[in-house]
Amino acid sequence: MTRDRRCAPVGFIADDITGATDLASALAARGLDTRLAFGSSAVCDEGGDAIVVALKIRSVPAAEARAAAIEAAEALLATGAEQLFSKYCSTFDSTPGGNIGPIADALIDVTGARRVVHCPSYPANGRTVYLGHLFVGDTLLSESTMRDHPLNPMRDPHLPRVLARQTSRDVALVEFTAVDAGAEAVTTCLEGIADQAAGAHHVIADAVRDTDLDTIAQATAGDRLCAGGAAYGAAFAAAARTRAGHAPHMQRERPVLPRGPSAVLAGSLSQATHEQIRAFDGPTLTLGVVELVDGDIAVRRSLEFAERCLSSGPLLITTDHDAVGLRAGATGLSPAQVSRRIEVAMGRIGIGLEKAGVRRLIVAGGETSGAVAEALSLRSARIGPDISVGVPWLVAEDRGLAIAFKSGNFGGPSFFRDALQVAQT
């Protein structure tokens, strides 16, 4: 039986865990009934306005990313979804080999879409696109800390040029003058681009304000496939649902967090997370890179620390920010091997903390979040209260666990304290 279009959810494929939770938070803030699934196998038809599939494909080989995205797309389409959105980081994290372009191209093949409009802008978090150039605050992406990202160094801020290296399809730009003129002007611009394109194509859209995202979303509300950051994803879903006659309900009840001990697990080496660690005033254990690569030592120390300290209040377990060079040096392993071993160790620590009684767990870092979610075998979660822009509490009601996955660069210095305070309200 064919699902009525008005009831069809919008399907989202997120390339990492923190991005998925960021998107789910933005969707819920728009009044959209949102389901979050960890992996394609967890996707199920439970109704709702939006289904977000959290994957871990941002930095894997392009062929692996394509295959995982196709699997997720097929799972979403099986629920009745007729529109898909590829969610990636607002800093366009990628390399000339992918994975933004390869994933979008794979989804074009699955959906038969004629175009993909991309917009990574996230004004609330200081990410904007102007004349095709991505800014972080008032700094070009290539001059920000993303320039030296260990996995995806971003040294070219011109997104049409960056994306063109990742796809054989045409890449065009909708400039700010069109966006500023309104949805009809954007539609006219997109039609002109389509007339000149050789088949299915990509379009980068400028956006410097939240209202610009709404304008672009109105112009693309009927599209089968779009891509970008969480802010555009939420605007797109709201516009698509309104277009289908199913306007969002702005007041939706959020789940109550389970009570119990709290812990923070920080694997990110970002400056923002470093400041958050320094501002934390509870018991703290710092694990060396060599210990984490070994795995067993790090897990044993962490669980002994938790046994001693959990009863006295929230605790923090973190990697050594002053030993970054060891990741590719003293261990004798490649950077990729070191990163993977650290992820596995952090995942094992996450399992141990839950077994030790932790019921509210904060995880900082995209790769660490993916590793912990995988280790805990999370399948689905409800969207809880927001901690800050892009970071909500999640509630896995089947196991009585509240968890917050935070991208390394998100949040102010008091983020950990803020998260724990939100959990108490």
**What pTM does this model have?**
0.91
Domain 10-244 has CATH 2.40.10.220: no
State the alpha helices, DSSP H only, in 52-99. Answer: 62-78
Instruction: Name every residue whose Cβ is closer than 8 Å to that of residue 39 and which is 6 or more positions away in sequence.
Output: 53, 54, 55, 379
Strand partners, 360: 262, 402
382-395: string of b/e by CB count within 10 Å (b at 16+)? Answer: bbbbbbbbbbbbbb
- 48, with CB counted inside 10 A (0-12, 13-18, 19+), is middle
Collapsed DSSP state (helix, strand, coil) of residue 103: helix
E strand or H helix that includes residue 348: helix 335-355
- The CA distances from residue 286 to 200, 274, 323, 376, 418, in Å, are 50, 12, 11, 22, 21
Instruction: Name every residue whose Cβ is closer than 8 Å to that of residue 417 and which is 6 or more positions away in sequence.
Output: 279, 280, 281
Count CB neighbours of 196 within 10 A: 9
Q: Which tokens belong to 351?
A: 């399992």
Q: Are 252 and 28 in contact (CB under 8 A)?
A: yes
Domain limits, the chain? 10-244, 262-423
Which CATH topology does 262-423 take? Molybdenum Cofactor Biosythetic Enzyme; Chain A (3.40.980)
Q: Alpha carbon 174 to chain centroid distance?
A: 24
Sheet holding 133-136, edge to edge: 127-130, 133-136, 139-140
Collapsed DSSP state (helix, strand, coil) of residue 393: strand
Question: What phi, psi does 324 have (nearest 5°)?
Answer: -60, -35
Collapsed DSSP state (helix, strand, coil) of residue 14: strand
The one-digit pLDDT tens for each residue of the chain (425 residues) are 344 444 689 999 999 999 999 999 999 999 999 999 999 999 998 888 999 999 999 989 999 999 999 999 999 999 999 999 999 999 999 999 999 999 999 999 999 999 999 999 999 999 999 999 999 999 999 999 889 887 788 999 999 999 999 999 999 999 999 999 999 999 999 999 999 998 999 999 999 999 999 999 999 999 999 999 999 999 999 999 999 888 777 666 788 999 999 999 999 878 889 999 999 999 999 999 889 999 999 999 999 999 999 999 999 999 986 654 445 556 678 777 888 899 999 999 999 999 999 999 999 998 899 999 999 999 999 999 999 988 999 999 999 999 999 988 889 999 999 999 999 88
